[in-house]
Amino acid sequence: MENGSNNFHLIIVAAGKGERAGGPVPKQYAQLGGRTVLRRTIEAFLPLPALASLRVVIAADHHSLYAQATDGLDLPSPIIGGQSRAESVRNGLDALQADANDIVLIHDAARPFIDSDDIRALLSAVGETGAATLGAPVADTLRRDDGHYVDRNGLFAIQTPQAFRLGMLRAALAAQDDLQATDESSIMTAQGVQVTLVPGKRSNFKITTPEDLAMAEALLTARTRFETRSGTGFDVHAFAAEDAEHIRICGLDIPHTRRLDGHSDADVGLHALTDALLGAMALGDIGQHFPPSDPQWKGASSDRFLRHAVDLVQKAGARIVNLDLTLICEAPKIGPHRTAMQAEIARICGLAPHRVSVKATTTERLGFTGRQEGIAAQAIANLELPYDPA
């Protein structure tokens, strides 16, 4: 534990289902520029020297999502939340080992844009009064659904973190039974406790709807400096000796009398693209990630290799700007399949087809491709990567 008057304990409530936001995972586990919302929220507090302890409250069935989101962070085990936010806060407080005079902050996992200056302002306010919350002035004219307008003058949208002397908060929660209350400052106020309002920033909004997630992504992008990266890939596969009915190129089985030889499905196009992406990230090459000596890749469908490279790009918070692939062969003719190849690569990479180009050329019958001994492919990938001065 640190010394100093501003030390605080932090409980981050992350046990909700995120129903309004929808999406494949609850919003606190949604990716925001390569990191989950929850991780961003946690990392907003970790550098603060006054942070004495941090506990995250999660849903019982989110253990593996939580483990992934906090991978590499040194945190105590999570606390299991309840059916409502209020219950989750209670469970967090029950697990907290601190003195009645200590300051505890309660913060929504769904507010990743909390600003350290606002946390400091909140801490200094709570030091004086024992109860304080952030709130942002309401900017819009307000109307209820019964048609009545509400004067917005002096109105604030209450946010988190909210800060309290632990003893005061415990007493207030013990004395109330409304488990549907959406925050602690309203419970305290209902019991006659004066809660200091600390004006905060509107950027500390609570991600609630799919639109909020999109706004969060946009805000993050606007605050991040990106740099452009390019990577090239080159691959060759020889034709197999025996006759065939199809050849696999760019994820498609194209009618052809010969197929390519290789340990995996020998998809020369996807291999070149995979190497281009790995090259742009400076993360080695396809052989390093999927050694041909490893039996698990025998006959493997190469979309898995490409997808793996795309996952690494996304993990780094990077974005694929475009991919351009040139197939070098006399046969089969690529032209009739070009659009389908573009579409398939775009599908594998989660890109719009206009970001993917597939071209083809012969070598005028010169060299090994000219003699139809094999097919070559070369690719370039352009990425935007968050700028790292290191």
Note the residues at the interface with Mg ion (CB under 5 A). Answer: 16
**Neighbouring residues of 75: CB distance < 8 A, sequence distance ≥ 6:** 42, 54, 56
Among 7, 8, 10, 28, binds ligand CTP (CB under 6 A): 28
Interface stretch with ligand CTP, choices 106-114, 171-179, 276-284, 339-347 (CB under 6 A): 106-114
Q: Which is nearer to ligand CTP, 15 or 273 (CB)?
A: 15
CA atoms of 358 and 269, how far apart (whole Å): 9
Residue 208 engages ligand CTP in binding (rule: CB under 6 A) = yes
Least distance (Å) between residue 12 CB and ligand CTP: 8
Angle at the Cα of 23 (from 19 to 29), degrees rounded to 5? Answer: 85
* Partner from Mg ion, ligand CTP, none binding residue 110, C-beta < 5-8 Å depending on class: ligand CTP
Contact pick of 57, 158, 351, 375 for ligand CTP (by CB under 6 A):
57
- Residue 82 C-beta: closest distance to ligand CTP, Å: 6
Q: Per CB under 6 A, does 88 bind ligand CTP? A: yes
Told to check if 110 binds ligand CTP by CB under 6 A, we report: yes
28's contact among Mg ion, ligand CTP, none, with CB below 5 to 8 A by partner kind, is: ligand CTP
Q: Which residues contact 211 (CB under 8 A, 6 or more apart)?
A: none
Residue whose token pair is 């304080």: 132
Residue of 68, 77, 83, 116 interacting with ligand CTP (CB under 6 A): 83
Partner touching 93 among ligand CTP, Mg ion, none, CB below 5 to 8 Å by kind:
none
Residue linked to tokens 């080159």: 234
Query: In terms of C-beta density within 10 A (0-12 exposed, 13-18 middle, 19 or more buried), how is residue 360 classed?
Result: buried
Distance CA 252, CA 343 (A): 10
214, 213, 200, 211: which is closest to 114 by C-alpha? Answer: 200
- Binding status of residue 109 toward ligand CTP by CB under 6 A: yes
